[in-house]
Amino acid sequence: MSVWPTDESSSAGAQASGQRCQLGLCEVGNLRPHPSYVRHGLHVPASRIAALRDLGEFPFREPIVITRDKTIVDGYARWEIAKECGLEAVLCLEYDLSATEALAWLIASHLPDHGLSAYNRILLALDLRPTLRDRARENQRASARKLSSNLTEAEKLDVRREIAKVAGVSVGNVTKVEQLTPTAAPEVLEALKREEISIHKAWGWRKMPHEGQREQLRLLRLEGDLRRKARELISKHRSEGPSTSAVLVTVDEFDELAPSLRLMLADNVAQTDPILIASLEVPGKGIFFSKELLQGLRERRTQT
């Protein structure tokens, strides 16, 4: 029996294709994650758990898909909520699957919009490489070509294509993950798992020393924080209207303030730090400073 990702990767699809299964209650404490899920340190995003938690008992109307040895195939978020709520048993749909078949099904059930990022799916799919490599060698025999201990470059590409197909990603992303994993800083790999950065961006950092990668990640997070704060400020500005404490300065006074602004930035902002410039939809021409910054600029001007 073989279970590989198809258009019918759900439990209903498996039933329709003739897979034997058994429905019943299983003790929550006896369920366990797939070894590959544990090995790669994967977990359900907090947002996914929170969304299901808000639905109350409704998520548990759908059974958790497991193997005969109680390995979870689909339903990790429901399992986490069941443990959190102290449930003793949950409804499960049990299939007779090998570890490899269970992993293939696990990946298929977590394709886009179902809880696992492209990077995480590739990590899991790469664990299927031995099985896919064996398939390639079987194809060698079937096509009457000489069997060697090593796959040709074309055959390696075929294996990579199969991995990409299982993970629901491009072959290029599989290649990038293979290339960046040995050299990426641990913090970058964790950020990839949490979808903080894209595979392409992490791949672009792969030749940097770990310290350089960490600095790039720090700057990326800082930029994200600044963008979030800017959105909050703009939203607040739109809801409250223009500030009544705004002041007008002449062009000559602004010319006098500009050098002080440059010096203040040089003293307080590293050259590699991003500076956020936000556009506000207000009438007229204006440059907006915080009250604290404007006061600091004027004080600095009087000192020089």
pTM of the model: 0.61
Q: What's the pLDDT score for residue 1?
A: 35
User: Token pair of 28, please?
Assistant: 């929550």
- To 5 degrees, how large is the angle CA 46–CA 47–CA 53? 90
Amino acid 11: pLDDT: 42
Give the whole-angstrom CA distance, residue 97 versus residue 3.
8
Q: Which residue do the tokens 């109350």 mark?
A: 56
Question: How far is Cα of residue 68 from the mean position of the Cα atoms in its chain?
Answer: 30
Residue 29: CA atoms inside 13 Å, Cβ hemisphere, count? 2
The number of CA neighbours under 13 Å toward the Cβ of 288 is 17
Distance CA 216, CA 131 (A): 37
pLDDT of residue 113: 55
CA distance 101 to 74: 13
DSSP state of 184: S
Residues of the chain with confidence (pLDDT) below 70? 1-19, 112-115, 136, 139-157, 230, 234-254, 264-292, 301-304
Instruction: Outline where the chain has alpha helix (H).
Output: 11-16, 35-39, 46-53, 76-85, 99-108, 118-126, 129-142, 153-167, 171-180, 186-193, 199-204, 210-240, 251-268, 291-303
Which tens digit of pLDDT belongs to each residue from 88-122?
Answer: 999 999 999 999 999 999 998 887 656 688 999 99
Written as six digits, the tokens of 143 are: 């096509």
pLDDT score of 303: 67
In this prediction, residue 14 carries a pLDDT of: 45
CB 100 within 8 A of CB 131: yes
Q: Which CATH number fits domain 1-116: 3.30.70, 3.90.1530, 3.30.60, 3.30.160?
A: 3.90.1530
Burial 124-133 (b: 16+ CB within 10 A, else e): bbbbbeebbb
User: Where are the domains positioned within the chain?
Assistant: 1-116, 117-207, 229-303
In angstroms, rounded to a whole number, what is the distance separating the alpha carbons of residues 37 and 67? 15
pLDDT of residue 206: 93
